[in-house]
Amino acid sequence: MSETTDPAEGDDQPPGGSRPGLAGPRLVVGLYVVLVLVTATAGFLIATFVEGLRPPRFLFLVPFPATPLGFAAYGGLTLALILGIPLALVVLVSRRIDDEPA
């Protein structure tokens, strides 16, 4: 005879085994923000230490100044757009899949 225990008894972890602060969408958004900030920092550092850079053009249309802040904005915005569009599409698709009846 096997004993079954109630999963709610004596279990300090939530279902799934992850901590509530680092679960699902919160983790993804946190990683997204960190990656955008790292890219902006890299752009700032590149423009600070490399000379002779040409001004970048965001989406080949909007010119940014060839300054550390211009490169930081260019890097951050470019990565935010490149990662943000697929992330938004994943969110939309996952909401539609979750809403469909089984």
Domain that holds residue 77: 22-99
**Residue 37 in contact with residue 76, Cβ under 8 Å?**
yes
Question: In sequence order, which ranges of the chain are alpha helices (DSSP H)?
Answer: 24-49, 68-99
Question: Does pTM top 0.85 for this prediction?
Answer: no
Q: How far is CA 4 from the centre of its chain?
A: 41
**Tens digits of per-residue pLDDT, 31-70?**
999 999 999 999 999 999 999 999 999 988 999 999 999 9
Write down the pLDDT at residue 98.
65
Task: Convert the pLDDT of each residue in 8-35 to its tens digit.
Answer: 555 455 555 555 656 777 888 889 999 9
Helix (H, G, I), strand (E, B) or coil at 102: coil
Predicted local confidence at residue 35, as pLDDT: 96
pLDDT of residue 43: 95
Q: Which amino acid is at 15?
A: P
Whether residue 63 is contained in a domain is answered as: yes
The domain total for the chain is: 1
Residue 81 included in any domain: yes
